């Protein structure tokens, strides 16, 4: 009799434990009030057309701070203006999309006022459909009677759009766009397959 009673008590305890376990509410997943995914900023190339004196809303004459408020999504590095043929000790503020330079800002010496905009990415276009890596042939189609000049300081060449204040710059060495038997005399275009390296907005 005692053994049967003990057995019934044991069964009652087991059933009670199972019922408590079954009735225990599932713990809700914790909800975070913060967004764990930070906003991914991207540079909108289509918004930055190469114009007279400006790239998108970035204008020559702005301060570097004002210019940097006009775009997002690029990584900044500081280089030297000499890399783009300009001496005097000015820095060049370069803006990268991953490992590729999109554009640079060169200030007036000892100031933060933008003097030049260096446009390097072929994803950026001028108002007449050219880009910083356009060939001499494509450039000549837009400017039928244009000539090329040589920079005597570094030997590079450039084709100027005097209406829009742009220079298409060619870092040429052995194979050049033009021939220069006389110093400071522009040349006809000789090698049409050479690509520009960047556009300087002045």
Taking only the tens of pLDDT, the chain with its 202 residues reads: 444 444 444 444 444 444 444 444 443 333 333 333 334 579 999 999 999 999 999 999 999 999 999 999 999 999 999 999 998 789 999 999 999 999 999 999 999 999 999 999 999 999 999 999 999 999 999 999 999 999 999 999 999 999 999 999 999 999 999 999 999 999 999 999 999 999 999 9
Of the candidates 107, 116, 108, the one whose C-alpha atom is nearest the C-alpha of residue 166 is 116
Q: What is the pTM of this model?
A: 0.80
**CB hemisphere CA count around 160 (13 angstroms):** 9
d(CA 194, CA 163): 23
Of the candidates 65, 128, 71, the one whose C-alpha atom is nearest the C-alpha of residue 95 is 71
Q: Read out DSSP for 166-178? A: EEEEE--SSS-SS
Distances (CA, A) of 38 to 34, 41, 69: 10, 9, 20
**CB hemisphere CA count around 145 (13 angstroms):** 1
d(CA 130, CA 138): 8
Domains and CATH numbers, the chain: 45-201 (2.60.460.10)
Tokens of 133: 């890596």
């Amino acid at each position: 009799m005692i053994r049967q009673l003990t057995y019934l008590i044991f069964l009652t305890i087991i059933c009670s434990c199972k019922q408590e376990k079954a009735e225990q509410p599932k713990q809700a997943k914790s909800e975070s009030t913060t967004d764990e995914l930070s906003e991914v900023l991207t540079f909108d190339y289509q918004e930055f057309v190469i114009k007279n004196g400006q790239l998108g809303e970035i204008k020559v004459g702005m301060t570097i701070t004002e210019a940097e408020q006009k775009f997002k999504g690029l990584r900044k590095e500081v280089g030297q203006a000499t890399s783009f043929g300009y001496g005097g000790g000015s820095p060049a503020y370069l803006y990268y999309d991953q490992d590729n330079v999109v554009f640079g800002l060169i200030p007036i010496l000892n100031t933060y006022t933008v003097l030049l905009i260096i446009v390097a990415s072929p994803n950026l276009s001028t108002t007449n459909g050219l880009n910083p890596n356009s060939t001499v042939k494509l450039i000549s189609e837009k400017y039928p009677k244009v000539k090329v000049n040589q920079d005597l300081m570094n030997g590079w060449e450039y084709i100027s759009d005097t209406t829009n204040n742009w220079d298409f710059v060619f870092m040429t060495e052995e194979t050049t766009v033009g021939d220069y038997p006389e110093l400071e005399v522009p040349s006809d275009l000789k090698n049409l397959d050479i690509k520009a390296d960047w556009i300087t907005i002045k």
